Amino acid sequence: MTTPKSRAGSRIDHLNLAVPDLAAAVAFYEPVLASVGISKMLEIPPNATPNQPTAMTGFGLADVKPYFWLIDGGTVGTNMHLAFTVDTRDDVVTFHEAALAAGASELLPPAVHEEYHADYFGGFVLDPHGINLEAVCHERP
C-alpha cells in the first residue's frame, strides 16, 4: 500500500482575475470568500503606479497577504475556473451555499468527484461574470 500524497500547498503566489465591473465582483466575492475565512485585505485605486492603470482589490487569509486579486475593467476569459482549497467538506457546503445566496448559478452541488481522486469533495458554481468557482476539500470526512 502506498502512502497518499499531500495535496496541501501551492506554488502559485497570487492570481489576478480581470472582471468587467470591480464593484459588482467585490460585492459578490466578499461574502462568499468570507464564508471560508478569506477576507478583503487591500484596495488599490486606479493609477496608483504607472504600470497599474486600473483599480484592484486583493483578498487573502487574515494578516498574511492578498493572493487573489480582482482587477477592474477586464474581460473574463473562456473556460475560467478557480478552485479554493478548504479544510472540511462542511466548508465546501458553506462556500457553495454562500455563493448561491450571493447570486451564483449552480453547476454541480457538493459531492465526491472520484474522477479526480477518491477523497475529492467539491462544489461548483458560476459567478455573476461567468467564472466557474469551486471549493474543494481533499481530506476524508
Does a structural domain hold residue 8?
no
Q: Where are the alpha helices (DSSP H) in the chain?
A: 22-34, 89-101
Range of the domain at 68: 15-137
Distance of CA 20 to the CA centre of its chain: 17
Is position 26 within any domain? Answer: yes
Q: Is residue 4 part of a domain?
A: no
Does 80 reside within a domain?
yes
Question: Which residue in 121, 119, 122, 140 sits closest to 132, CA to CA?
Answer: 122
Number of domains in the chain: 1
24 found inside a domain: yes
- Classify residue 89: in a domain, yes or no: yes
Is 97 within a domain? yes
User: How confident is the model at residue 50, as a pLDDT?
Assistant: 83
Q: With a threshold of 0.85, does the pTM exceed it?
A: yes
With vertex at residue 69, the alpha carbon angle to CA 65 and CA 74, rounded to the nearest 5 degrees, is 165
Residues 6 or more apart from 92 whose CB is under 8 A from it? 86, 110, 121, 122, 123, 135, 136, 137
Output the domain CATH number for residue 81. Answer: 3.10.180.10
Task: Burial-class residue 26 by CB neighbours within 10 Å (0-12, 13-18, 19+).
Answer: middle
The pLDDT tens digits along the chain (141 residues) read: 445 566 666 778 899 999 999 999 999 999 999 999 999 999 999 988 888 889 999 999 878 899 999 999 999 888 999 999 999 999 999 999 999 999 999 999 999 999 999 999 999 999 999 999 999 999 988
- 7 lies in a domain? no
Asked if residues 131 and 137 have their Cβ atoms less than 8 Å apart, the reply is no
Residue 52 to residue 2: CA distance in whole angstroms: 48
pLDDT at 13: 85
